[in-house]
Amino acid sequence: MFATPAYAQAAGGAAAAGPQAMLIQFLPLIALVALFYFLMIRPQQKRMKQHQQMLGALKRGDTVVLSSGMIGKIVRVEDKEVGVEVATGVTVKVVKSMIADVRAKGEPAAANDAKA
């Protein structure tokens, strides 16, 4: 009653096209999902895996950078926490997942730290 005859005919023609028309409709959506996976999800999973390997390889004496920016030396390693010495005689407990980076031993100091 409310549909025009031309609109009704167009709807019938699209249904008759069948699975090929549906595939053409969903192809851009499938392409977007694949693009999203390769540009966002996969690199994030790769970074998480590298971070977990880094945390698993922590050992006493490593110099670490915490997610807050503090730098310290590991004095104790436990299952989920580590003891980090942030100053001489000052040790704090830190959750392992908050360690952002492990620095190599003997890494040079920044150039602006010159003593005069």
Return mean pLDDT, the chain. 84
pLDDT (0 to 100) of residue 19:
82
pLDDT tens-digit map of 65-116: 999 999 999 999 999 999 999 999 999 999 999 999 999 765 555 656 555 5
pLDDT (0 to 100) of residue 10:
53
pLDDT (0 to 100) of residue 17:
65
pLDDT (0 to 100) of residue 23:
85
Cβ atoms of residues 83 and 92 within 8 Å: yes
Q: In the chain, what are the domain boundaries?
A: 5-53, 60-105
Backbone angles phi, psi at 25, to 5 degrees: -70, -40
pTM: predicted TM-score of the whole model, two decimal places: 0.65
